[in-house]
Amino acid sequence: MASVLAAKKALRDQLKQRLVALNETEKRRQSLDVTRKLLSHKKYQASQRVAVFINMPDEIQTRDIVHDIFQQGKACFIPRYRRQSNHMDMVRLGSTEEINQLPLTSWNIRQPAEGDGREEALSSGGLDLVLVPGLGFDKEGHRLGRGKGYYDTFLQRYRNQLGGTPYTIALAFQEQLCESIPVNENDIEIDEILLAGESDVISH
């Protein structure tokens, strides 16, 4: 267990360096490519209830995806992380414009405030699709997050409460693809990874 944690930390450091080296033009180019692939994806088109992350600077940009979710009349859910814990809820967003009014967290990303009475996905019918961020991914569907366990814990809770899990698609830069990701028993595999460029879809 300790060796897995050490391996994860080393890989996280390496991936952060790779992402720092990506310039804004390249991030935008890859984000547009990944967005285009997602919007034409059968799973996305068939989904009515979609969870999407509000991206950090070193993640695939998701604003165009959020905009399309509303344009297509789908229900849009975004993460609300609880500080000092690994608990995350997916709560419903009212509109694209609403994002700019949401409070900023200590990670400098916007999320709804605790207790603002939003519809929560697990108690209102679940989700069809969850778009997943991360630092690194491999071709086996393993994901390396930022170490808090929010998505793994959420998907485990989802399974416990609703008896299954929604389809999961990770959105990633080419630089986030790894030869292999060290995992432990709590890590949940992702169904599919969308990347910019030729190796566009990896499903396991």
Q: Is there a binding annotation on residue 190?
A: no
Q: Is there a binding annotation on residue 2?
A: no
pLDDT, position 166: 96
pLDDT, position 35: 98
Q: Is there a binding annotation on residue 12?
A: yes
This prediction has a pTM of 0.93
Q: Is there a binding annotation on residue 81?
A: no
| CA terminus-to-terminus distance, the chain | 25
Q: Is there a binding annotation on residue 151?
A: yes
User: Which domains are delineated in the chain?
Assistant: 2-203 (3.40.50.10420)
The segments of the chain whose pLDDT lies below 50 read: none
Q: Is there a binding annotation on residue 118?
A: no
| CB-based contacts of 149-152 (< 8 A; 24+ apart in sequence) | 149/86, 149/186, 150/79, 150/81, 150/86, 150/87, 150/88, 151/88, 151/188, 152/186, 152/187, 152/188
Q: Which of 182, 178, 160, 161 is nearest to 170 (CA)?
A: 178
pLDDT, position 19: 94
Q: Is there a binding annotation on residue 185?
A: no
Q: Is there a binding annotation on residue 170?
A: no
Q: Is there a binding annotation on residue 82?
A: no
pLDDT, position 116: 84
